[in-house]
Chain A
Amino acid sequence: MSSVQGRRRSALVVAIVIIVAAFGYLLYGGIDKNVVFFLTPNELLTRGSAAYDVPVRLGGLVQPGSVKWDADKLDLRFVVMDSGGQSVNVHSTGAPPQMFRDGMGVVVEGRYHRNGTFESTNLMVKHSNEYRKPEAGGRPQEMYRSLQKGAGT
């Protein structure tokens, strides 16, 4: 009786060890495949060919003058740069955030392709809790005034 119980017990322990090991292996493999690195343009470019076609979060500033937005085709192109002067071309489909503008901090989720364009699937504006004075024309009332005049920016 007790030897049966003992055998049962060791079988149970073996089963648990196998389950835990298999689960740990699955977890490790799953994480390894789905890690998304957060990189600056410089870090992305120094990775060379290892940077292509893997999911990445690219963080940096919108290069002034680089934003091209085609509202009818929902086609957005801009350049993300870092303080070291490195820059990456970004393409995305969909409207940019309303207050999207030159020099602001952004995080772009997507993949860097061999043609040198970063294809974005998600564009996030860096949240800053610090209060910054809105630029002239940037406040909704002012937009509204221009809206009434129908003048545009």
Chain B
Amino acid sequence: MTRLLGSTSLLVALGVAIYASVALMWGARRKRTDLLRSGELALYTVWGLVTAATLSMVYALVSHDFSVKYVAMVGSRATPLLYTVISLWGALEGSILFWIFVLTSLSALVTYQNRQREGTLVPYAGGVLMLISTFFLILLAGPANPFGLVSPIPADGPGPNPLLQNHPLMAIHPPLLYLGYVGMSVPFAFGIGAVLSGEIETDGWIRLTRKWTLVAWTFLSAAIVAGMWWSYEVLGWGGYWAWDPVENASFIPWLTATAFLHSVMVQERRGLLKLWNLNLIVATFALTILGTFLTRSGVLSSVHAFSEGPIGRYFLAFIAIVLIASFALVAGNSERLRPTGSLDAAVSRESVFLLNNLFLTAFTITVLVGTLFPLVAEAIRGVKISVGEPFFNRMTLPICAALLFLMGVGPALPWRVATRDVVRRQLVPPAVGAIVGLIASLLFGVRSPYALAMFTFGAFALTANVREFVEGTVARRRAHGEAPPIALARLVGANRRRYGGYLAHIGVLTITLGIGASATFRTEREATLRKGDVMEVGRFSVRLDDVFYRQEPQRDVMTAGVTILRGTREVGRMEPRMNFYPTSEQPVPTPSVRSRPAGDLYVNLQAFAQDGSTATLRVIIEPLVPWIWTGGMIVCLGAIVSLGGGRKERAPAVARVRTAAPPPAPIGLEEAAG
């Protein structure tokens, strides 16, 4: 019954989605309101049908209906409810279903929000979104059908992939990632819609597009940081980023979206980079589809694995269609995307944004090439290779240093032209900050040139961004006599896009500090201990107390109980464990992490003797790692602050602050956002 409801809904949704895209686009072209109206209804209907299918799947999972193929693949009676529900995105078919659910929900939301909008931009965008939906519904109807019939019906299933049911972050990371990935379809649809409707020559569409890019970017940022956190908490290696293709797949579109969020300001303020921005939107969308292809087709384990399953070919064909169709559209309209302004001076905020885009593009290409090179080499030369981490680190660290530097220069420079005086006045404090950062890191014993560059430029950018808040607050305080917290709140509230952006910078810098410190000052030791033995790691001593076994409904658990001492004083007990799931021979490591602002103590159970007499422990002191997670939250907070800002609210606000600020006023008050 559930099976029938689910598969029928998806099939009908496919037909309706095709109709919706045709009706919306044809109606927009012919200005036929009756068609537009019915296309819009069809779009909502697709959302309703997909929602019904998704709910059917959740119901089937929760009720352990093993006649449904997907449930038989990932379900198990012993799995706790939370992990049963989230196994919706635990394997290929379910994740595609979840994807289309998010996509149609966003389509319905965007269409509803903008239903009163004049012009044909929104119908065209809706049509594009329905075309994308059609692709995913075809996948679900054919090669990735989750509602297939299983016969005979098994009594129980294997349960989700052990790695996915070992930590609650798996309930958070994938939905965030999908909201980020799928969210990038909306700016793409607006971009294509703007070209098709002719609105490309006006400014309205870019504001909508920027807003939705920022929404998707926020989710994607949160997803990347949550993924790092998950990797740190579950894989037992004490790291959080390994330039693994799966990680890169989420990071590459983040880079292009970040580039867009900066260069779009140049378009809004100065009428430049219009063609470039549209290309960035298209590239970001194509890269999210490429990322899904990489992570979901099996191509990573072997180029030949994906040709065995049909799904990879569908994706490749779809990516080809998207790229050819959109670049043809963009190229055909390039005359209408000519700049309406000009670059007035080499030293100005817009030229910093140009450089920022140059480096972000170089970053994107580097990671993309490093990720795809092994696939190409295997396909062409038949050799299995991988591109080592040193490639990524050596290539990207100089780019990161340059971006950090620009992050400090950008907020300090005004639009159009920066005179020498302005440059001097604005860049001296960050330069002092940079020197302080350099001296401090030398005193802490940093010697690696890369790390020194990170800390120095990081301090430079941090000074520049924090200074914006301080100066603005001081200026308000002088002008209005407001108490500092109120002055700060009003400052940010009056100019949310600008200060949200600076806050996001501060978040990125916090992450940089966490990564720099944990990469530079990590202390690690591994030892085999008998009960009662103590090992010393840095300031801590770790004593093995016991090794014990426990059975949980869905898994068997081996735990090492250890006591942490500083000197002779006991400061805590930790229980690193190894979880054994019935589907996997290999246990899932579950390190124990004791987190303090200054850093983490990370204890992983590497191995144990079968008689329980000894355990091999890896103990790592990881300075400032929690700052990475905190920094991720600051980035998202900054993005949310920035989202609330619109053009209308800002114009008078700027004027008010400008009159309020006495002459050596923050030059940047000319405003980052447009």
Q: Which residues of A are in contact with B by a Cβ distance under 8 Å?
A: 19, 23, 26-27, 30-31, 33-38, 55, 57, 71-72, 74, 94-99, 125, 127-129, 131-132, 134, 137, 139-141, 143-144, 146-147, 150-153
Q: Please tell me if B369 contacts chain A, counting CB pairs below 8 Å.
A: yes
B608 to chain A, nearest CB (A): 7
Q: Please tell me if B385 contacts chain A, counting CB pairs below 8 Å.
A: yes
Q: Please tell me if B59 contacts chain A, counting CB pairs below 8 Å.
A: no
B385 contacts across to A, CB distance below 8 A: 35-38
Nearest neighbor of B582 in chain A, beta-carbon distance: A131
Q: Please tell me if B271 contacts chain A, counting CB pairs below 8 Å.
A: no
Q: Please tell me if B612 contacts chain A, counting CB pairs below 8 Å.
A: yes
B618 contacts across to A, CB distance below 8 A: 94-95
The answer to whether B369 touches A27, judged by C-beta atoms less than 8 angstroms apart, is yes
Given A30-B391, A98-B578, verify A38-B583 contact (CB < 8 Å). Answer: no
Name B549's contact: one of A30, A127, A144 (CB within 8 Å). A144
Nearest neighbor of A144 in chain B, beta-carbon distance: B549
B395 contacts across to A, CB distance below 8 A: 26-27, 30
Q: Which 6 A-B pairs have the closest CB atoms?
A: A144-B549, A34-B391, A38-B384, A147-B612, A140-B556, A152-B611
Contact with A along B598-609 (1 / 0, CB 8 A): 000000001111
Nearest neighbor of B555 in chain A, beta-carbon distance: A140
The answer to whether B556 touches A131, judged by C-beta atoms less than 8 angstroms apart, is no
- Chain B contacts with A in 555-575, Cβ cutoff 8 A: 556-558
Nearest neighbor of B617 in chain A, beta-carbon distance: A95
The distance in angstroms between the C-alpha atoms of A88 and B188, with both chains bound, is 52
Q: Which residues of B are in contact with A by a Cβ distance under 8 Å?
A: 158, 161, 358, 362, 365-366, 369-370, 373, 377, 383-388, 390-391, 394-395, 526-528, 547, 549, 551, 556-558, 578, 580, 582-587, 606-614, 616, 618
A35, A127, A129: which has the most chain B beta carbons within 10 Å?
A35
The answer to whether A99 touches B558, judged by C-beta atoms less than 8 angstroms apart, is no
Name A153's contact: one of B161, B383, B528, B610 (CB within 8 Å). B610
The distance in angstroms between the C-alpha atoms of A113 and B303, with both chains bound, is 30
The answer to whether A95 touches B586, judged by C-beta atoms less than 8 angstroms apart, is no
The answer to whether A98 touches B587, judged by C-beta atoms less than 8 angstroms apart, is yes
A25 to chain B, nearest CB (A): 12
B585 contacts across to A, CB distance below 8 A: 99, 128, 132, 134
The distance in angstroms between the C-alpha atoms of A96 and B161, with both chains bound, is 23
The distance in angstroms between the C-alpha atoms of A138 and B618, with both chains bound, is 23
B556 contacts across to A, CB distance below 8 A: 139-141
Given A95-B528, A139-B556, verify A34-B388 contact (CB < 8 Å). Answer: yes
28 residue pairs from A and B, CB less than 8 Å apart:
A23-B362, A23-B365, A26-B395, A30-B394, A30-B395, A31-B387, A34-B387, A35-B373, A35-B385, A36-B386, A36-B387, A38-B383, A38-B385, A71-B609, A94-B618, A95-B606, A98-B586, A98-B606, A98-B608, A131-B582, A140-B549, A140-B580, A141-B551, A143-B558, A146-B610, A150-B612, A153-B610, A153-B611
Nearest neighbor of B551 in chain A, beta-carbon distance: A141
B528 contacts across to A, CB distance below 8 A: 71-72, 74, 95
The answer to whether A37 touches B387, judged by C-beta atoms less than 8 angstroms apart, is no
The answer to whether A71 touches B616, judged by C-beta atoms less than 8 angstroms apart, is yes
The distance in angstroms between the C-alpha atoms of A131 and B73, with both chains bound, is 12
Name B607's contact: one of A34, A98, A129, A150 (CB within 8 Å). A98
The distance in angstroms between the C-alpha atoms of A35 and B358, with both chains bound, is 26
A57 contacts across to B, CB distance below 8 A: 386
The distance in angstroms between the C-alpha atoms of A152 and B609, with both chains bound, is 8
B387 contacts across to A, CB distance below 8 A: 31, 34-36
Nearest neighbor of B394 in chain A, beta-carbon distance: A30
Nearest neighbor of B587 in chain A, beta-carbon distance: A98
The answer to whether B384 touches A96, judged by C-beta atoms less than 8 angstroms apart, is no
The distance in angstroms between the C-alpha atoms of A133 and B528, with both chains bound, is 29
A19, A38, A71, A72: which has the most chain B beta carbons within 10 Å?
A71
Given A30-B394, A71-B614, A74-B527, verify A131-B586 contact (CB < 8 Å). Answer: no
A12 to chain B, nearest CB (A): 10
The answer to whether A96 touches B607, judged by C-beta atoms less than 8 angstroms apart, is yes
The answer to whether A147 touches B549, judged by C-beta atoms less than 8 angstroms apart, is yes
The answer to whether A37 touches B607, judged by C-beta atoms less than 8 angstroms apart, is no
B217 to chain A, nearest CB (A): 25
A14 to chain B, nearest CB (A): 16
A55 contacts across to B, CB distance below 8 A: 388
A120 to chain B, nearest CB (A): 14
The answer to whether A94 touches B526, judged by C-beta atoms less than 8 angstroms apart, is yes
B616 contacts across to A, CB distance below 8 A: 71, 74, 95
A134 contacts across to B, CB distance below 8 A: 585
A107 to chain B, nearest CB (A): 10
19 more contacts with CB within 8 A, not counting A23-B365, A97-B607, are A27-B366, A27-B369, A31-B370, A31-B373, A33-B391, A34-B387, A34-B391, A35-B377, A36-B385, A36-B387, A38-B385, A94-B606, A96-B607, A129-B583, A132-B585, A140-B580, A144-B558, A144-B612, A152-B611
The distance in angstroms between the C-alpha atoms of A71 and B544, with both chains bound, is 15
B365, B373, B384, B582: which has the most chain A beta carbons within 10 Å?
B384
The answer to whether A141 touches B549, judged by C-beta atoms less than 8 angstroms apart, is yes
B384 contacts across to A, CB distance below 8 A: 37-38
The distance in angstroms between the C-alpha atoms of A74 and B526, with both chains bound, is 8
B371 to chain A, nearest CB (A): 11
Nearest neighbor of A55 in chain B, beta-carbon distance: B388
A76 to chain B, nearest CB (A): 10
A72 to chain B, nearest CB (A): 6
The answer to whether A147 touches B547, judged by C-beta atoms less than 8 angstroms apart, is yes
A35 contacts across to B, CB distance below 8 A: 373, 377, 385-388
A97 contacts across to B, CB distance below 8 A: 586, 607
A40 to chain B, nearest CB (A): 10
Given A30-B394, A74-B616, verify A95-B610 contact (CB < 8 Å). Answer: no
A151 contacts across to B, CB distance below 8 A: 611
B300 to chain A, nearest CB (A): 12
The distance in angstroms between the C-alpha atoms of A23 and B578, with both chains bound, is 45
B606 contacts across to A, CB distance below 8 A: 94-95, 98
Nearest neighbor of A143 in chain B, beta-carbon distance: B610
